[in-house]
Amino acid sequence: MEPITNITNGTNGAGPSRKIVVAGAQLGPIDVPTARSEVIARIFKLMDEAKTKGVKLFVLPEIALVTFFPRHLITNPEELEKYFEREVDGDPAKAHNMKPVFDKAREYGMDLSIGYAECADASGDKHEHYNTNVYYSAAADKVIAKYRKVHLPGTVEPYERPDATNQLEKRYFKPGNLGFKAFRAPGLVESPLTKASGKAANDKETLGRGDPIMGMMICNDRRWPEAWRPYGLQGVEMVLCGYNTTGWAPELLGTNPKIKTKEMAKNEALFHNKLSVQHGSYSNACWSINVAKCGMEDGKYPLIGGSCIVDPDGEVVIEAKTEGDELLVWECDLDFCKRGKGKVFAFERHRRPEHYGIMVEQTGVKEPDFL
């Protein structure tokens, strides 16, 4: 068959390179008694490997340094507080428990995306808890963006059945209050257009030529098109998403008569993970770096793993082979985003927002009247 050569979609490689070597750093299980220092030692091993592979952006999972504690009912406030990180001088990179990871990223000249349980306003009396992810830029040598998880799954109260898997995020966290704000990360691509060039963003000629446009999500957010589209509308080129997804939780997930074993349930959860991130990447024409905590945590709670990097066509380009600490490295070409952004998902030409009002006016379902 003749190859198709005479159709341009903006991915012909002309112009400065917009390729970034990215690593998803999947983490195996972390148990309640595991010290953060042990986990950090494991992360350092992955960072060492990343450095040898020329990685420029290192992405860690949701609540990366401790067990996924929202599965446990913790009624003692002091015990609960131990899972939270406190910024120092308003800087997450100085938070005592996390500082070594930021310091290593600085030493290696690597950008870092890390999830943690945030105790905000920790110096005052009023503590607010969020499920948070921040982005450290090595070029700027500071945290340049913060995201607080918007979609908190699960329940406030634990289930009655003693064996149930709980997800008490609604009990422990406030819903994120920072929205879905995309941001540019400096120092990652060759010769990006900047304000100093005198050119303006959002011009036909300058689209996709500035510093990379990033967005962050946390776990459950990835299942919601409402989380992806605000980023898509800001021209996002790469979404970073850490997660802890349980492989067995009938109370939370409901049951399916076709699913008869725990292994089948885990495979179904893996399928839904991929379905969500592949669709989100495709319909917003962006890369997504999806990074899990995995394996059997706290002795009996299986996490699905299945970390993967998805390209802007929605294809999985690399996925985890293990259920333990593992580095997924891929060179992501941001120019690849231009295909979808310029054609099928050229929002400015095809979207019809006059018909989308119901999505922001309404939360729950309102069925049509009965016939």
Q: Just list the catalytic residues.
A: 62, 149, 219
- Asked if residue 145 lies in contact with residue 135, where contact means CB atoms within 8 angstroms, the answer is yes
Measured CA to CA, the distance from residue 138 to residue 108 in angstroms comes to 8
Looking at the chain, list the stretches that DSSP marks H as alpha helix, in order from N- to C-terminal side. 36-52, 77-81, 99-108, 169-172, 225-232, 250-253, 262-284, 337-342, 347-350, 357-361
Degrees (nearest 5) of the Cα angle 51, 57, 63?
Answer: 105
**Residues sharing a CB contact under 8 Å with residue 64, sequence separation 6 or more, in sequence order:** 27, 39, 43, 114, 115, 116, 242, 293
Nearer CB in complex with ligand CDT: 97/167: 167
Total number of residues that touch ligand CDT (CB under 6 A): 14
Contact flag: residue 223 with ligand CDT (CB under 6 A): yes
Beta carbon of residue 45, minimum distance to ligand CDT (angstroms, whole number):
25
Nearer CB in complex with ligand CDT: 26/220: 220
| Among the listed residues 220, 278, 290, 307, the single contact to ligand CDT using CB under 6 A | 220
Beta carbon of residue 315, minimum distance to ligand CDT (angstroms, whole number):
22
| Among the listed residues 26, 167, 281, 288, the single contact to ligand CDT using CB under 6 A | 167
Beta carbon of residue 335, minimum distance to ligand CDT (angstroms, whole number):
31
Nearer CB in complex with ligand CDT: 137/220: 220
Nearer CB in complex with ligand CDT: 143/253: 253
Measured CA to CA, the distance from residue 223 to residue 215 in angstroms comes to 15
| Among the listed residues 114, 188, 219, 329, the single contact to ligand CDT using CB under 6 A | 219
- Asked if residue 29 lies in contact with residue 293, where contact means CB atoms within 8 angstroms, the answer is yes
Interface characters, 30-69, with ligand CDT (x: CB under 6 A)? --------------------------------x-------
| Among the listed residues 25, 182, 188, 249, the single contact to ligand CDT using CB under 6 A | 249
| Among the listed residues 26, 132, 166, 245, the single contact to ligand CDT using CB under 6 A | 245
Beta carbon of residue 153, minimum distance to ligand CDT (angstroms, whole number):
4
Residues 88-147 that bind ligand CDT (CB under 6 A): none
Contact flag: residue 153 with ligand CDT (CB under 6 A): yes
The token duo for 355 is 């018909």
DSSP 122-175: TTSS--EEEEEEEEEETTTTEEEEEEE-----S-SSPPSSTTPPP--HHHH-PP
Q: Which stretch binds ligand CDT (CB under 6 A): 105-113, 173-181, 247-255, 292-300?
A: 247-255
**Residues sharing a CB contact under 8 Å with residue 69, sequence separation 6 or more, in sequence order:** 32, 63, 80, 83, 117, 172
Q: Which stretch binds ligand CDT (CB under 6 A): 121-129, 183-191, 238-246, 259-267?
A: 238-246
Contact flag: residue 208 with ligand CDT (CB under 6 A): no
Contact flag: residue 243 with ligand CDT (CB under 6 A): yes
- Asked if residue 242 lies in contact with residue 62, where contact means CB atoms within 8 angstroms, the answer is yes
Nearer CB in complex with ligand CDT: 132/167: 167
Residue that has been written with the tokens 């005592």 in this structure:
96
Coil, helix or strand for 88? strand
Nearer CB in complex with ligand CDT: 137/288: 288
Measured CA to CA, the distance from residue 49 to residue 183 in angstroms comes to 27
| Among the listed residues 233, 252, 317, 318, the single contact to ligand CDT using CB under 6 A | 252
Nearer CB in complex with ligand CDT: 167/307: 167
Q: How far is CA 229 from CA 209, 215, 235, 239, in A?
A: 21, 11, 10, 11
- Asked if residue 236 lies in contact with residue 286, where contact means CB atoms within 8 angstroms, the answer is yes
The token duo for 319 is 């996925």
Give contact residues for ligand CDT (rule: CB under 6 A). 62, 153-154, 167, 219-220, 223, 243-246, 249, 252-253
